[in-house]
Amino acid sequence: MKKWQRSDLRLLIISGLAVLLFVLAILGEWLAPYDPLEVNYALSLKPPDNTHWFGTDKLGRDILSRVLCGAKTSFSLTLMMLAVIVVVGLVIGLVCGYVKGWTDHIIMRIADILLAFPDTIFAIAVAGILGAGVFHTVFALALVWWTKYARLTRSLVIDLSKKDYICAARLAGAGHIKILFVYILPEILPKILVNAALDTGSMMLSLAGLSFLGLASQPPSPEWGYMLYESKQFMQTAPWMMFYPGCVLLMTVMIFNLLGDCLRDKLDPKSE
Amino acid sequence: MKKLWKLMLCFFLGGTLVACGDTPEERRNHLNAAMFWISTTLDPASNYDGWVLSRIGVGETLVKLNENYEVVPGLADTYEQINATTWHLHIREHLNFSNGKAVDGEDVKACLERAFAKNSRAKEYFDLAAVEAEGQDVMLYLNTPSGAVLNNLCEPLFTIYDASQSDDVISRQPSCTGPFVITDFKPEISVDCVANENYWDGEVQLASVHFVQVADADARVLALQNGEVDMVTTIDYSNVSLFSDPEKYSVSEVLGPRCNVVYLNHESPFLQDVHIRKALSYAVDRNSIVALTGGDPAVGLYSTALPYGNDVKNGYPLDLDKANQILDKAGYIDTDQDGIREMNGQNIVLQYYESADHGSSDANIIAQSIQSDAAKIGLSIEIKAVENLSDIKASGTFDMCSANDSTAPTGDPEIFLQLHYLSDASGNISRYKNAQIDALINELSVTFDNEKRQALAKTVSEMLLEDAVNLYVSYLPLNTICLSKVKGAVQHPVDYYMMTKDISIDNG
């Protein structure tokens, strides 16, 4: 009982922090004290003070405002990518695991081929061919990452298909759609969600990494990874340019990783 | 007894290792230098690889440029113009390649012919008809007159080396005449050199040099700070202040002929209109950019460091009102109130490609500044950061693209105009065509009087400004930063000169 309460409290705190981050991301534009795009050369590379809490960057833009507005970009991109890969992976995994046969063989071999590419290198190659940009990069990462969810879903579906209650449902005349979405999906969804929560942090880091390389977010839109790239040249002369976006990225990724752990403990205690 | 044998073996091996290594004197006179680029070959006739060979103090040319961009004797001790198309050069007596072979006119002939056979850039410097060699005398015969032959012979493409070596050897370890000799070359990684004992111009102070490619400017800064290298070149202006302690470092900085230019594509539906080009030119806040990137605000094509770059009138000081007036007058109005002016109902959105030239982030600073400046006059710019701009420049699939160009690589104003502003030039990145400019550039080619040449260059430069052909943003400072123990490293305004015989290590 005591253990349950402790883990529950932990989940509550971490969820609260995650919700706070979401709220900040949504309200960032309104909370930002200055226009994150407004260039003011007179304020260039100003260290943190009362008027600019996080200091200013090379073009005199307020870093706090850029961090707040950048949260929206980072969160929306991550969630968009997560939604795409989870939905695509889930649907394909359900079909492969349930239908089996040639469909399963062909799709799984395609997944094997895509898994052979390291995701970041693949994203760099796609951005090289299609051109740098947020959607090209999200597309490239999604192209590799859906396979993980497809394979996980497929193995769970194959496992569940052998269960007696599924056979009973089939004998009782339940259709394929009903079996898949009423009897199988609710059983596997917690595992998929736990995985998605655990992946959020690494996806955010991957996107920030690609923005750092100049392949995802393009200037002047504020994005944490791109802000880190811009600060590289001033790492020693204006360290606040790197410190604040770096800290925020670190904390966000840490919160989502902890949230994933808590959700796993709660929803999928067997794998703890 | 066994132990005694082992001990003797240890002593023997230890002694062997000591014998194989450098002497303490050699170690003391060794320099490690970081460069932003080491080419894939060291063949002077290949691409711009001769520039690397020149920077590392291996390759030398018949004549060279001094700090005032004047031609001074190099491997040729005398030179004279016979007529409009004929030049005579005399090669120094008792001059040897690093492999000991004597240098004569035939070697010069072989190098020049090889340069023209292998590199299309050579023909753009001058139109060589024939080279004749007799002993130490060389005669150059041109098909068309050229007033810049001597300056252009300073280009490292015309490095003199032992051309009787095989192509393979020339690409890895060409025997040249400079103060250093290559001992090992790893393409795009490193070059190891030792002092040239046959050097014609006096004793070389350093025993050996290890050049390593550190492409990223920030990594070069860190390499110098942690003592991994003793000398770096071309670091960002924003980081020069890190080396202000004279006890630890020495900084040599000079304004060179390089210009940060933004090429405007004259085939772009928006930028083919001079009004938009002029408005953009008035909108660029050059002084604020220079406060971040260093150097001088650009007033035209040629750097103020050049003798003919000084008094070109500045056509485009920052004037947002004037820029807005030009666009209003031309009928480009923001009808849908989205902050972007329209041309024929279409938002004026320009694609700006930028690349980290010389591993520096300055191109990104300039791009973002211009993006913000252009937004103030209702022009939208989308920045695309790419690894390499060569293909984009060649294909013309851009509206704007960044460059860091040496506008007088040989000290003379003609070659840059020939390469980039003649209507049919291979390097006409802007796709700018102007018969009047073509005629002036051609006139420049056949003008021999230096004052007249400089006056013509100014005229062309001002005409280019009048037409707002490109955005000239700033003139770049060049720098060499060393640990304080390195003596004699002076930044030359011509950036293909770096290592000299006079650089030494003071172990104090």
Contact A236 B367 (CB under 8 A): no
CA distance B7 to B299: 74
- Mark whether B65 and B214 lie in a shared domain: yes
Beta-carbon separation of B238 and A44 below 8 A? no
Q: Give the residue-averaged pLDDT of B282-288.
A: 94
Could you tell me the CATH number of the domain that includes residue B221?
3.40.190.10
Are B75 and B141 members of one domain?
A: yes
Cβ distance of A58 and B365 shorter than 8 Å:
yes
Neighbour tally for A75: CB within 10 Å:
19
What does the block give as tokens for B49?
Answer: 């690889």
* Count of structural domains, chain B: 2
User: What is A49-101 written as a DSSP string?
Assistant: -SSSTT-B-TT--BHHHHHHHHHHHHHHHHHHHHHHHHHHHHHHHHHHHHH-H
- Is B245's pLDDT higher than 80? yes
Q: Which residues of chain B have a Cβ shorter than 8 Å from any chain A Cβ?
A: 217-218, 221, 236, 238-239, 241-242, 285, 288, 291-292, 360-361, 364-365, 367-369, 371-373, 382-386
Whole-number percent of chain A with pLDDT over 90: 42
Nearest CA-CA distance, residue A111 and chain B, Å: 30
- Position B25 in a domain: no
Task: Provide mean pLDDT across the span B474-479.
Answer: 92
A with B: how many residue pairs have Cβ under 8 Å apart? 58
Residue B203's contacts (CB-CB under 8 Å, 6 or more residues apart) are B501
The total domain count for chain A is 1
Closest CA to B505 of B28, B55, B25: B28
Q: What is the mean pLDDT of residues B131-141?
A: 96
Q: Which 3 state secondary structure label does DSSP give B52?
A: helix
pLDDT over 90 at B445, yes or no: no
* Beta strand pairing call for B190-195 and B346-347: unpaired
User: Angle A132-A138-A143 (CA atoms, 0-180°, nearest 5)?
Assistant: 115
pLDDT at B416: 92
Q: Is B112 helix (H, G, I), strand (E, B) or coil?
A: helix
The rounded percent of chain B whose pLDDT value lies above 90 is 76
Q: Do the domain assignments include residue B45?
A: yes
Assign B4 a pLDDT band (cuts: 50, 70, 90).
Answer: low
Domain with residue B266: its CATH number is 3.10.105.10
Interface test with B, best of A232, A233, A234 (most B CBs within 10 A): A233
Per-residue confidence (pLDDT) for residue B19, from 0 to 100: 44
Residue A23's H or E segment, with its range, is helix A2-31
More confident residue, A212 or B189: B189
Domain-embedded: residue A129: yes
Average pLDDT of every residue of chain B: 90
The strand pair at B342-343 and B208-213 is best described as unpaired
Whole-number Å distance between alpha carbons of B297 and B311: 14
Does A47 fall in a domain? Answer: no
Q: Which of B358, B384, B481 to mutate to test the interface with A (most CBs of A within 10 A)?
A: B384
> Tokens standing for B508?
């104090």
Nearest CB to B291 within list A44, A232, A234: A44
How far, in Å, CA of A236 to CA of A99, rounded? Answer: 58
Instruction: Read off the tokens for B496.
Output: 């293909």
For the stretch B290-301, pLDDT in tens is 999 999 999 889
- Give phi and psi for B364, each to the nearest 5: -70, -40
Q: What local confidence, expressed as pLDDT, does residue B5 receive?
A: 55
| CB–CB contact B383 A218 (8 Å) | yes
Q: CATH number of the domain at A238, please.
A: 1.10.3720.10
Nearest-CB residue to A41 (from B239, B288, B383): B288
pLDDT beyond 50 at B16? no
pLDDT for the residue B15: 45
Let me know if residue B317 belongs to a domain: yes
Segment A19-47 mean pLDDT: 91
DSSP string, B239-250: HHGGG--TTTEE
- Cα separation of B256 and B67, whole Å? 10
pLDDT confidence bin for B268, thresholds 50/70/90? very high
Rounded to the nearest 5 degrees, what angle is found at the Cα of A13, between the Cα atoms of A196 and A240? 80
pLDDT at B229: 97
Q: Using a CB-CB distance cutoff of 8 angstroms, which residues of chain B are in contact with residue A225?
A: none
Instruction: Annotate B280-334 with DSSP letters as a single string.
Output: HHHH--HHHHHHHH-SEE--SSS-TTSTTTTT--------HHHHHHHHHHTT---
Q: Per the omega criterion (within 30 degrees of 0), is the bond before A220 cis?
A: yes
The first and second tokens of residue B472, run together, are 């000239």
Q: Are A199 and A89 in contact (CB under 8 A)?
A: no
Instruction: Kindly report the nearest CA distance between residue A41 and chain B, in angstroms.
Output: 6
Q: Which of A131, A132, A220 sits opposite B368 (nearest CB)?
A: A220
Q: What is the pLDDT of residue A132?
A: 77
Distance CA A228, CA A243 (A): 9
Residue of B nearest to A127 (CA): B386
B66-120 pLDDT per residue, tens: 999 999 999 999 999 999 899 999 999 999 999 999 999 999 999 999 999 999 8
Q: Angle A134-161/A119-130 helices, nearest 10 degrees?
A: 140
Determine, yes or no, domain membership for A8. no
Does residue B244 fall inside a structural domain? no
Chain A positions in Cβ-Cβ contact with residue B285 (cut-off 8 Å): 41
pLDDT of residue B18: 43
In this structure, of A117-126, B233-242, B343-352, the range with the lowest mean pLDDT score is A117-126
Which site among B360, B372, B381, B402 would you substitute to test the A interface, given the most A Cβ atoms closer than 10 Å to its Cβ?
B372
CB B210 within 8 A of CB B192: yes
Catalogue the E-assigned strands of B278-332. Answer: 296-297
User: What is the number of residues in chain B?
Assistant: 508
Looking at the fold, whether B371 and B500 belong to one and the same domain comes out as: no
Write the CA distances from B263 to A119, B198, B355, B358, B363, integer angstroms: 35, 45, 13, 18, 13
Measured between CA atoms, the residue of chain B closest to residue A231 is B361
Is position B121 within any domain?
Answer: yes
How far does B410 lie from chain A, in Å, by closest CA? 31
Residue A202 within any structural domain of the chain? yes
Nearest to A132 among B218, B372, B384 (CB): B384
Residue B165 structural domain:
30-230+485-505
> What is the pLDDT, as a whole number, of residue B147?
86
Q: Which domain holds residue A201?
A: 61-271
Under 8 Å CB-to-CB from A30, ≥6 apart: which residues? none
| Secondary structure letter of residue B227 according to DSSP | T
The backbone torsions φ and ψ at residue A226, rounded to the nearest 5 degrees and listed phi first, read -70, -35
Same domain for B210 and B275? no
Q: CA–CA separation, A111 vs A148, rounded Å? A: 8
**Contact call for B384 and A131, based on CB within 8 A:** yes
Nearest CA in chain B to A133: B384
**Rounded to two decimals, what is the model's pTM?**
0.84
Does residue B315 share a domain with residue B193?
Answer: no
Rg (CA), chain B: 25
Residue of B nearest to A212 (CA): B385
The reported pLDDT for the residue numbered A59 is 92
DSSP state of B272: T
Please, which pLDDT band fits residue B13 given cuts at 50, 70 and 90? very low
Task: Identify the helix (H) or strand (E) that includes residue B129.
Answer: strand B128-134
Does the distance separating the beta carbons of B383 and A44 come in below 8 Å? no
Choose among A132, A220, A234: nearest Cβ to B371.
A220
Share of chain B above pLDDT 70, in %: 93
CA of B239: which chain A residue's CA is closest?
Answer: A237
Residues 6+ apart with CB under 8 A from B344: none
B226 and B269 share a domain?
Answer: no
Q: Is residue B193 part of a domain?
A: yes
At A271, the pLDDT band (50, 70, 90 cuts) reads low
Whether the complex's predicted ipTM is more than 0.85 is answered with: no
pLDDT digits (tens, 9 = 90+) for B386-443: 878 888 999 999 999 999 998 999 989 998 998 899 998 888 999 999 999 999 999 9
Distances (CA, A) of A251 to A204, A229, A257, B168: 12, 18, 10, 55
Distance CA B34, CA B36 (A): 7
How many C-beta neighbours within 10 Å does residue B84 have?
12
For residue B59, the one-letter residue type is G
In a domain, B184, yes or no: yes
Residue contact B368–A59, C-beta within 8 A:
yes
Q: Tell me, what's the pLDDT at B56?
A: 97
Which residues, other chains included, contact B165 with Cβ-Cβ below 8 Å and sequence gap of 6+? B174, B175
